Structure 1
Amino acid sequence: MTSEITLFVNPTAGRGRGARAAQPAARVFREAGFSVRTIVGEDPADAVRRVEKAVAEGTGALIAVGGDGLTGLALRAVAGTSTPLGVVAVGTGNDFGRTLGLPVRDPSAAARVAVAALTSARAREIDLGRVGDRWYGTVLASGFDSRVNDRGNRMRLPVGRFKYDLAILAELAAFAPVPYRLRLDDGPVMETEATLVAVGNGTSYGGGMRICAGARLDDGLLDVTVVGPCSRTTLLKVFPKVYRGTHLGHPVVSVHRAAKVELTAPGLTGFADGEPLGPLPLTARCVPGAVRLLA
C-alpha cells in the first residue's frame, strides 16, 4: 500500500468543524509516517471528480473529514474499489460514524483508528445501499422522516440532533399518512398507508435516531422499518423511543429485511445519508462488501 493518503474535507461541515478538524487529523497521519494530500472541491461535483481521480491514481486510502453528506460523496468514489475509506466524523448528524462505533467530533481519535487499521493492513468490508448510481451508507428516508430531514437540513440553528427535534414538531402541523406500494425482493406488491418507510443499510439518521436499530452492515440485507398510520399523539409518543431503538416493539411499527426494496408513494422525495435522492418511486439494493472501511 502506498504511504500517501487523501484527506477529503468539507470545511463547512458542522458549522466549520470540518476545516478545524483537518489539521489535527492530518497531523496524526503524518506522525504515523503517511504523506497527506488534501482535497477541497469548489462544489460537490468538482470534489467528487478530484477524489475519483485520486482513487484512480492509487491513493493508499481516502479519509472523509466532515459529516454524512461528505461521507456519501466519498462512498461514491471508493465503492467497488480496493481503496479503503476512513471517516473523521465532525458533521451535524454523524450517523455513519455512529453506526460504525467510530469516535465522533474527535478528529485525532478518529484518525488514530484509521492509522491503526492502515498499519495493520486490516479493513472491514461492509455493505452499502444503492439507488440507481447513488450509494448510501446509512438510511434511505421516505415520508414523514424525509420531510423532517429536508426541514432540518435547511435550519441553521440549533446545531446537532436538536434541530431535527424542532423539525419534527414543525412537520407535525401538516402530518398525514401516505399510501405506499412496497415490494421486497421479488415478492408480491404490498399496499399500505404509512407514516414513513425507512430503508436502512445502517441503523440511524438525524443525529442518532435509530430508526433501523437492528440493521447490520455485513449481512447483505437492508432493514425496512414501516411506521403505519397513526395519530399525531401516537407519533409524538413513538418518536422519542427512536433514539434508543425501542420503537421497534410498538404495535404501529413493523420491520422487514430484503436485498432489494421498491418504494412507490405520491408526492414524496427520498433522502439518503441526509441528501436528496429524488422523488419516489425508488428502488434500493444492498451491495454486499461494497467498501473496505478503516474501522
Structure 2
Amino acid sequence: MRQFTAIVNPTAGGSNGVATLLSVARLLREAGAELETEYSSSLAHAQDLARQAGERQRVVLAVGGDGIVGGIGGALSGTDTVFGIVPAGRGNDFARALGLSSDPAELADALLHHEPRRVDTIEVESARGRTVALGSVYAGVDALANRHANHAKLLSGAASYYAGGLRAVATWRPATYRITVDGEELTHHGYTVVAANSAFYGSGRIIAPEARVDDGLLEVVMIRHAPRRLFFALMNELKTGAHVHRREVRIVRGAEIRMEADRDVPYGTDGEVDAVLPVTARVLPGALAVLC
C-alpha cells in the first residue's frame, strides 16, 4: 500500500485545497493507505517538503492549483519520486492535461491503484537562474493577463482569466520577438509566444491542441499582430482550439526554444508570472513519474 505526503497550498482556490484533500484523504485511509499532511508557507517551502518526503520514498501529492503543482513537480523532476495531484486551484490545467478527475472517488482510485506514468517537464533558464515547469512557458499578452488574474479579488477560475485577458489586450502593444527553435531563428511580431508541453493553459483554454506531455517536444504557438477585435474573437476560440486554423497563428515544434524580444516582455510558467524575457525552455523527456 502506498504511503502519501500531501503538501497543501492553503490559499489555492480559497479554502478549496483543504476541503478537497479531506474528501480524498478519507478514501485513501479507508483503503489502508497512510497519509500525512504538510502545509506550505511558500512555494520554496513546498518544494523543500516535497524533496524531503521523496527521500523517504513517499508518494508526494501537490494539493492546489497550477502554481504549487508546477513548483512541486519541477522540484521532483529528474528523481524517482512518484508524484500525484489533488487539483484544487483556479486553473488546474496540468491535471486537466493528465485526464485527472475532480471526483474524489475517481481521484483516490487513481492515486491508490494506477501505475506511474513518465511525463516530460520543461527546464526554464533565464537571468533569474534555472527552474523546472510542467505545463508551458508563455511570453506576451497572456503572461500579462495571468498576472492580472492572479491579483483578481472578486473573480475565480475561468472568469478571472477572461477578465485578465480583456484588461491585458486593451493595453498591449505588439512586440517583436526573436524565437530560436532547435537552432533555427524565427522573427515574430505580435501578441504572444507559448512553448507548450500541455495542451491547456489559462483555466482550460486549449492553446496547443496537439501538445502531448510525453512526446519529447514542445508545441510553439505564435499569435501574430491583428486588430484587437479579431484578437478577442481568437480568445473565444481558445475554448475549443479552433484558433489554430487562423492565418494569424503559427505553430512549430521543437525540443529547445529561446525567446527574446525588443522590449521588456513578461513571461510566465505554470500560472506564475514574475520575470521578463529572454528565457530558454528545454524539454526534459520522461523526467517525472506521475499518477494519472
State yes or no: 1:4 paired with 2:3: yes
Task: Give the match for residue 211 of structure 2.
Answer: 215
The 1:48–1:38 alpha-carbon spacing in structure 2 relative to 1, beyond 3 Å, is same
How far apart are the structure 1 equivalents of 2:108 and 2:137? 27
> Is residue 74–residue 134 contact of structure 2 (8 Å, CA) maintained in 1?
no
Q: CA deviation at 1:182?
A: 0.4
Alpha-carbon deviations, 1:132-181, whole Å to 9, x = none?
33111112111111110111111022111011111122122212210100
Task: Give the match for residue 48 of structure 1.
Answer: 47
Task: Give the match for residue 81 of structure 2.
Answer: 83
Alpha-carbon deviations, 1:227-274, whole Å to 9, x = none?
011110110111100110110000100100000000001211210110
Amino acid at match of 1:4: Q
How far apart are the structure 1 equivalents of 2:174 and 2:45? 39
How far apart are the structure 2 equivalents of 1:229 and 1:78? 38
Q: CA deviation at 1:199?
A: 0.7
Amino acid at match of 1:229: H
> Is residue 82–residue 289 contact of structure 2 (8 Å, CA) maintained in 1?
yes
How far apart are the structure 1 equivalents of 2:170 and 2:249? 22
State yes or no: 1:178 paired with 2:171: no
> Is residue 12–residue 19 contact of structure 1 (8 Å, CA) maintained in 2?
no
How far apart are the structure 2 equivalents of 1:31 and 1:173? 52
How far apart are the structure 1 equivalents of 2:44 and 2:172? 34
Q: TM-score, normalised by structure 1?
A: 0.93
Task: Give the match for residue 278 of structure 1.
Answer: 275
Amino acid at match of 1:98: R
Q: CA deviation at 1:277?
A: 5.5
Task: Give the match for residue 123 of structure 1.
Answer: 116
Task: Give the match for residue 38 of structure 1.
Answer: 37
How far apart are the structure 1 equivalents of 2:92 and 2:46? 20
How far apart are the structure 2 equivalents of 1:203 and 1:157? 27
Task: Give the match for residue 139 of structure 1.
Answer: 136
> Is residue 88–residue 111 contact of structure 1 (8 Å, CA) maintained in 2?
no
Amino acid at match of 1:251: R
Written as runs of structure 1 = structure 2, the 5 A alignment for 1:158-169 is 158-169=155-166
Deviates more, 1:10-19 or 1:39-48: 39-48
Please, which of 248, 254, 257 is the counterpart of residue 258 of structure 1?
Answer: 254
> Is residue 94–residue 207 contact of structure 1 (8 Å, CA) maintained in 2?
yes
Please, which of 220, 230, 238 is the counterpart of residue 242 of structure 1?
Answer: 238
How far apart are the structure 1 equivalents of 2:257 and 2:183? 9
Task: Give the match for residue 109 of structure 1.
Answer: 106
The SS at the match of 1:30 is helix
How far apart are the structure 2 equivalents of 1:108 and 1:45? 30
Unaligned segments of structure 2, at least 5 residues? none
The SS at the match of 1:42 is coil
State yes or no: 1:73 paired with 2:71: yes
The 1:8–1:107 alpha-carbon spacing in structure 2 relative to 1, beyond 3 Å, is farther
Alpha-carbon deviations, 1:62-99, whole Å to 9, x = none?
11111111101211232111111111111110101111
Deviates more, 1:237-246 or 1:170-179: 170-179
Amino acid at match of 1:126: V
Deviates more, 1:64-73 or 1:38-47: 38-47
Q: CA deviation at 1:192?
A: 2.2
Please, which of 146, 169, 186 is the counterpart of residue 149 of structure 1?
Answer: 146
Amino acid at match of 1:63: L
Q: CA deviation at 1:50?
A: 1.8
Q: CA RMSD in A?
A: 1.4
Give the total of aligned pairs: 287
> Is residue 119–residue 286 contact of structure 2 (8 Å, CA) maintained in 1?
yes
Choose between structure 1 and 2: higher strand proportion. 2
Alpha-carbon deviations, 1:7-29, whole Å to 9, x = none?
11112211110011121221121
Amino acid at match of 2:60: L
Task: Give the match for residue 291 of structure 2.
Answer: 294
The SS at the match of 1:167 is helix
How far apart are the structure 1 equivalents of 2:281 and 2:140? 15
